[in-house]
């Protein structure tokens, strides 16, 4: 067991899977990467945020384990250096923004200089490092037709603590009722979007229906890029290696398979590993079963599966019509 004060570690990344938040930490001044988890069902989100605030003002120690063994740890907020935004991105002050609508915790629709944007900002449960990762990922994917454009970094209290991205009149996939032909075309768009991002060097690791938008023309967008991997953007080789270990074919395709399953199945449950027999149309079932399989090669990428399933989906869509 290794024990470190929370101001001696930096949170590299986190991942939620099967009811557990998994965290990777870097010990400052070393190449040591620690792994730790805690059950997100206890305490609940509000308790977690209070714990973050308490940890910021107390000498609480963060306990982490070097192995893949799951241990319960207290929620802590690492003290991290302020983020310096890429020079290509202009900076605006938060006081100059007018809030139009509260979308959810940490996300507002705002107006700035007569134009509408989505303002995503740090909350008590955020870390500066995760915010920095999201800025860099939006910046790196700025030319993708499947990602809303990043326009500004937002400064608040002398720190860069938010970002303004393109506002798109849209709805998340889990809020829509789509026809069968629309579900086929949306499934194809999801595969195309992930393939496009992979080719640009970004691997989305938080793919789910709530992070996928459809506009009024049924065009797909990927949002919430805070959990993902872009080679070459990490502070050390140790940090990049731990992220490389998370983007193997099993992980990315598993998340993609579950997203497609959720799109097609109103009874989708995150507790289940695979859909019940006969739940999904044959073409979709084949894809979900393959993507969620533990036997899939770890080196496979979504772009390797694109042509195969593009043809299958197009044929199934024509038959559905």
Highest mean pLDDT (candidates 131-135, 153-157, 271-275): 153-157
Q: For residue 144, what pLDDT band results from cuts at 50, 70 and 90?
A: very high
Q: What is the mean pLDDT of residues 71-80?
A: 36
Specify whether 268 is located in the same domain as 178.
yes
Query: 251 and 285 share a domain?
Result: yes
Q: How far apart are CA 14 and CA 206, in angstroms?
A: 10
Question: 């308490």: which residue's tokens?
Answer: 54
Question: pLDDT tens digits, residue range 163-197?
Answer: 999 999 999 999 999 999 999 999 999 999 999 98
The residue-averaged pLDDT of 13-19 equals 52
pLDDT in tens, 193-209: 999 988 887 878 788 99
- Residue 175 shares a structural domain with residue 313: yes
pLDDT tens digits for range 249-260: 567 788 889 999
Q: How many domains does the chain have?
A: 3
**83 belongs to a structural domain:** no
In this prediction, residue 291 carries a pLDDT of: 86
Residue that finishes a domain, picked among 122, 140, 166: 166
Rounded mean pLDDT of 273-283? Answer: 87
**Range in 102-116, 216-230, 245-259, 306-320 the model is least confident about:** 245-259
77 falls within a domain: no
The larger pLDDT score, comparing residue 167 to residue 320, is at 167
Residue 299 exposed, middle or buried by CB count within 10 Å (0-12, 13-18, 19+): exposed
Q: Is residue 268 part of a domain?
A: yes
Which of residues 151 and 198 earns the better pLDDT score? 151
Q: Are residues 104 and 231 in the same domain?
A: no
If pLDDT is split at 50, 70 and 90, which confidence band does 55 have? very low
Backbone angles phi, psi at 259, to 5 degrees: -65, -45
| Listed residues 131, 166, 201: the one ending a domain | 166
Are residues 147 and 59 part of one domain? no
CA 61 to CA 75: how far, in whole Å?
10
φ, ψ for residue 17, nearest 5 deg = -155, 130
Q: What is the mean pLDDT of the chain?
A: 75
Model confidence band, residue 243 (pLDDT cutoffs 50, 70, 90): low
Q: Quick one: average pLDDT of 52-63? A: 36
Residue 58, pLDDT > 60, answer no
Alpha carbon 193 to its chain's center: 14
In this prediction, residue 89 carries a pLDDT of 86
In a 10 Å sphere around its CB, with 0-12 CB exposed, 13-18 middle and 19+ buried, how is residue 91 labelled? exposed
pLDDT at 72 (0 to 100):
34
pLDDT confidence tier of residue 59, bands split at 50, 70 and 90 = very low
Range of the domain at 190: 170-320
Choose the weakest-confidence range: 22-31, 58-67, 255-264: 58-67
Query: Residue 285 pLDDT more than 90?
Result: yes
Mean pLDDT of 1-7: 53
User: Do 100 and 56 reside in the same domain of the chain?
Assistant: no
Is 280 a domain residue? yes
Q: Note whether 52 and 7 are same-domain residues.
A: yes
Backbone angles phi, psi at 40, to 5 degrees: -80, -10
- Predicted confidence at residue 228, as pLDDT, reads 67
How large is the C-alpha radius of gyration of the chain? 20
**74 in a structural domain:** no
Q: Between 134 and 55, name the one with better pLDDT.
A: 134
- 307 with 192, same domain: the answer is yes
Is the residue at 152 inside a domain?
Answer: yes
In the predicted model, what is the mean pLDDT of residues 116-137?
78
Residue 70 is assigned to a structural domain of this protein? no
Give me 13's structure tokens.
Answer: 């990344």
Confidence of residue 296 (pLDDT cuts 50, 70, 90): low
Q: What is the pTM of this model?
A: 0.72
CATH for 160: 3.30.200.20
Is the same domain home to 194 and 248? yes
The pLDDT score that the predictor gives to residue 9 is: 63
Asked if residues 16 and 255 have their Cβ atoms less than 8 Å apart, the reply is no
Q: What percentage of the chain carries pLDDT values higher than 90?
A: 34
Same-domain check for residues 7 and 103: no
Domain's final residue, options 64, 79, 108: 64
Considering the domain boundaries, does residue 80 fall inside one? no
Q: Are residues 184 and 295 in the same domain?
A: yes
Write the pLDDT tens digit of every residue in 25-44. Answer: 666 777 666 655 544 433 33
* Pairwise pLDDT comparison (75 vs 185), residue with the higher score: 185
3-state SS of the chain is CEEEEHHHEEEEEEEEECCEEEEEEEECCCCCEEEEEEECCCCCHHHHHHHHHHHHCCCCEEEEECCCCCCCCCCCCCCCCCCCCCCCCCEEEHHHCEEEEEEECCEEEEEECCEEEEEEECCCCCCHHHHHHHHHHHHHCCCCCCCCCEEEEEEECCEEEEEEEECCCEEEHHHCCCCHHHHHHHHHHHHHHHHHHHHCCCEECCCCHHHEEEECCCCEEECCCCCEECCCCCCCHHHHHHHHCCCCHHHHHHHHHHHHHHHHCCCCCCCCCCCCCCCCCHHHHHHHHHHCCCCCCCCCCHHHHHHHHHHHHHHHHHHHC
Residues 247, 117, single domain; the answer is no
**Contacting residues for 243 by C-beta, under 8 A, at least 6 apart:** 12, 13, 229, 234
* pLDDT at residue 122, rounded to an integer: 78
Tell me the C-alpha distance between 204 and 220, whole Å.
15
Contact 139, 89 (CB under 8 A): yes
């Amino acid at each position: 067991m290794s024990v470190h004060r929370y101001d001696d570690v930096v949170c590299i990344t986190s991942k939620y899977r099967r009811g557990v938040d998994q965290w990777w930490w870097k010990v400052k001044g070393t190449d040591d990467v620690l792994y730790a988890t805690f059950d997100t069902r206890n305490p609940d989100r509000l308790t977690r945020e209070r714990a973050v605030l308490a940890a910021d003002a107390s000498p609480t120690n963060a306990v982490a384990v070097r192995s893949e063994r799951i241990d319960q740890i207290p929620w802590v907020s690492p003290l991290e250096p302020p983020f310096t935004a890429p020079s290509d991105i202009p900076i605006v002050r938060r006081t100059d923004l007018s809030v139009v609508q509260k979308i959810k915790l940490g996300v507002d629709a705002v107006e700035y200089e007569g134009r509408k944007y989505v303002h995503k900002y740090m909350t008590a449960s955020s870390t500066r490092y995760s915010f920095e990762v999201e800025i860099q990922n939006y910046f790196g994917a700025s030319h993708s037709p499947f990602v809303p454009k990043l326009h500004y970094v937002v400064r608040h209290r002398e720190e860069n603590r938010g970002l303004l991205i393109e506002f798109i009149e849209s709805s998340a996939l889990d809020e829509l009722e789509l026809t069968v032909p629309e579900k086929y075309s949306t499934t194809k768009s999801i595969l195309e979007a992930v393939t496009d991002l992979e080719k640009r060097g970004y691997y989305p690791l938080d793919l789910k229906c709530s992070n996928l938008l459809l506009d009024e023309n049924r065009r797909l967008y990927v949002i919430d890029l805070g959990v993902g991997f872009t080679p070459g953007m990490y502070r050390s080789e140790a940090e990049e290696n731990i992220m490389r270990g998370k983007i193997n074919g099993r992980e990315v395709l598993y998340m993609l398979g579950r997203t497609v399953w959720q799109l097609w199945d109103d009874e989708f449950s995150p507790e289940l590993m695979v859909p019940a027999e006969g739940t999904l149309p044959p073409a979709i079932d084949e894809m979900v079963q393959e993507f969620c399989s533990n036997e899939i090669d770890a080196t496979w990428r979504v772009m390797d599966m694109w042509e195969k399933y593009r043809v299958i989906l197009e044929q199934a869509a024509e038959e559905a019509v």
